[in-house]
Amino acid sequence: MTASRTARERVRAELTREITDIARRQLATDGAGGLSLRAVAREMGMVSSAIYRYFPSRDDLLTALIIDGYNALGQAVEQAEAACPRTAHLGRWLAAGHAVRDWAVAHPHEYALIYGSPVPGYQAPQDTVAARLRDVTVLGAIVADAWNAGELHPPAVPEPPAEVAADADNIRALMPGVPDDVVWRAMASWSTLYGWVNFEVFGQFNNTIESRRAAFDHALRLAAAALGLAT
Amino acid sequence: MTASRTARERVRAELTREITDIARRQLATDGAGGLSLRAVAREMGMVSSAIYRYFPSRDDLLTALIIDGYNALGQAVEQAEAACPRTAHLGRWLAAGHAVRDWAVAHPHEYALIYGSPVPGYQAPQDTVAARLRDVTVLGAIVADAWNAGELHPPAVPEPPAEVAADADNIRALMPGVPDDVVWRAMASWSTLYGWVNFEVFGQFNNTIESRRAAFDHALRLAAAALGLAT
DNA sequence: CATTCGTCAAGAGCAGTGCTCTCGTTTTTT
DNA sequence: AAAAAACGAGAGCACTGCTCTTGACGAATG
């Protein structure tokens, strides 16, 4: 009912934002495990207990950061993909893939929060489902557009087994009109994409792959080819 | 020089083993963040400071667990693959892949330690390099054997760019005699494999994919096909 | 055999953490 | 103006990793 923002509400929003900003900085330097409410409070010149007026627990603060991360990654992917001509399906795939990697490399700890090992004792509340699928929604649209344009020509084999048909229906919500085989090929391609980014961000390529952007680009093209997405 | 084990050495080895066992149990239930030296000591009926006689710091205990994890995963993959006929390259690939997934699903927190987000503030010492590549060495041998047997027929495009040639040499150590294109296809296939396992173990498939083993099996076959590994 | 020396468990203690509760104060609502 | 809600500060609890000192035990050496 109250569309007018009282002074208290305004300063509360301000402080909430300041808390998440400082927390995000801490996250960027020390990782999720190093996020300390007391340190945030100290940096704000507050007493630690005052933070609990804004976030009832450390996990709630973490949840806010996770949702922000989902949205930041999703927005980065959306923007990169939106800059491509609609019919350049391979170009859109490459742009979206590089956007994922670029964001992950720039924000490794935030990326770890969303695609890495779950934080112990913490489980994502339902609030995150809305933001969680932004990146993958973009990828699904690319696959669906390519399929509906008749530009997807995957090989005939191997075919998915019958028992995964029900699961395919769940995933198809992201790429309407696409047959089961393509659904699973899309999943495999995403797996290649995010698996590669995980390898790189989590340090598995150290002392092994140096030309990381070029190597990733090639992996992206291999994944597109496996999908049946031609040049 | 001393090949004889004194009583003291024996009890020390015994206690060290007991510590890692209890720590592994804690890891399995509470994850890496929940690993507490004091809790381990409590469970052993010791005082917390006594643990430091055996592991100078929490990170050292964690390192021991990580090395154990590498070896456990590596051994599981080696055994599963060794049970296959040498010439059944696709069968070996499927067996090794399922071994990775089965072990990861059975030991999610240990898997997270190995292939998940790195523990904050912790970086793996050089001791781990020996054990770290056991699983991927098996996978490399399969690719090399299939190639040398002339059973690998990857499509001609896309070709890897020139700038990643030096990196391919590093990776080729795991699969001698294999050309650059196949090296990168192998990397992409591993990416699919571990990316999929990450998705599943880290909870991204919750409420989406239920027939997990079958779905993974199909993903493995898609990855094999992308590699050029026929039936 | 006796003594020295290294190893060990125990305990106290430090600095840090998440979180709870209470106590005045201030701001909003009634 | 009075009641209610929100707020910051502070003390405190239980927990953590880690350090230092103390005293006891066992093993190799004289």
Asked if B209 lies within 8 A of A167 by C-beta distance, the reply is: yes
The two tokens of residue B156 are 């001609």
Residues 6+ apart with CB under 8 A from A66: A113, A114, A124, A128
Alpha-carbon span B229 to B89, nearest angstrom: 8
E strand intervals along chain B? none
B84: its two tokens: 């296959």
> Per-residue pLDDT tens for A184-222?
999 999 999 999 999 999 999 999 999 999 999 999 999
The answer to whether A81 and A208 are in contact (CB under 8 A) is no
- Write out which nucleotides of chain D lie closer than 7 A to a protein Cβ: 6-12, 15-21, 26-28
Write the DSSP assignment of A158-222 as a string of letters: SPPPGGGHHHHHHHHTTSTT--HHHHHHHHHHHHHHHHHHHHHHTTTTTTT---HHHHHHHHHHH
Contact A36, A25 (CB under 8 A): no
C-alpha atoms less than 13 angstroms from C-alpha of B166 in its C-beta half-sphere? 7
Q: Are A120 and B26 in contact (CB under 8 A)?
A: no
At B82, list the tokens. Answer: 């060794």
Stated pTM of the model: 0.95
* Chain A residues touching B203 at Cβ < 8 A: 118
Q: Do B202 and A118 touch (CB under 8 A)?
A: yes
Q: Helices (H) and strands (E) in chain A — how many of each?
A: 11, 0
- Residue pairs between chains A and B whose CB atoms are closer than 8 Å: 174
Chain B residues lying within 8 Å of A66, measured CB to CB = none
Q: What tokens were used for B48?
A: 């917390």
Angle at CA B123, nearest 5°, toward B183 and B43? 120
Q: Which of B113, B164, B171, B196 to mutate to test the interface with A (most CBs of A within 10 A)?
A: B164
Distance CA B121, CA B126 (A): 16
State how far the Cα of A92 lies from the Cα of A140, in Å rounded to an integer: 11
User: Per residue in A44-72, pLDDT tens?
Assistant: 999 999 999 999 999 999 999 999 999 99
Is the Cβ–Cβ distance between A70 and A131 less than 8 Å?
Answer: yes
| Residue pair A188/A226 in contact by the 8 Å Cβ criterion | yes
State, as a whole number of angstroms, the distance between the CA of A8 and the C1' of D2.
21
Q: How far apart are CA A61 and CA A55, in angstroms?
A: 6
Chain B residue nearest residue A124, CA to CA:
B203
Q: Which two tokens mark A13? A: 């929003």
Q: What is the Cα–Cα distance from A27 to A109, expressed in whole angstroms?
A: 7
CA of A47 to C1' of D10 (A): 9
Say how far apart CA B219 and CA A158 lie, in whole Å: 10
Asked if B92 contacts B81 with a C-beta cutoff of 8 angstroms, the reply is: yes
Q: Which residues of B touch A120 (CB under 8 A)?
A: 30-34, 109
Rounded CA separation B216/A195 (Å): 14
Cross-chain residue pair A211–B157, CB shorter than 8 Å: no
Q: Which tens digits make up the pLDDT trace of A126-184?
A: 767 778 999 999 999 999 999 999 999 999 889 999 999 999 999 999 999 999 999 99
Q: Alpha-carbon distance B33 to B40, whole Å? A: 14
Could you give the 3-state DSSP secondary structure of residue A29? helix
CA A83 to chain centre: 19
| 3-state secondary structure labels for all residues of B12-56 | HHHHHHHHHHHHHHHHHHHCHHHCCHHHHHHHHCCCHHHHCCCCC
Residue A176 CA to residue A183 CA, distance in Å, equals 10
Beta bridge partners of B152: B229
A51: the nucleotide nearest its CA (via C1') is D8
Are B158 and A218 a contacting pair at CB < 8 A?
yes
pLDDT in tens, chain B (231 residues): 333 467 778 888 999 999 999 999 999 988 898 899 999 999 999 999 999 999 999 999 999 999 999 999 999 999 999 999 999 999 999 999 999 999 999 999 999 999 999 876 666 666 677 789 999 999 999 999 999 999 999 998 899 999 999 999 999 999 999 999 999 999 999 999 999 999 999 999 999 999 999 999 999 999 999 999 977
Out of B109, B204, B208, name the one closest to residue A167 (CB). B208
Compare all CA atoms of chain A with the CA of B33 and give the residue at the minimum distance: A120
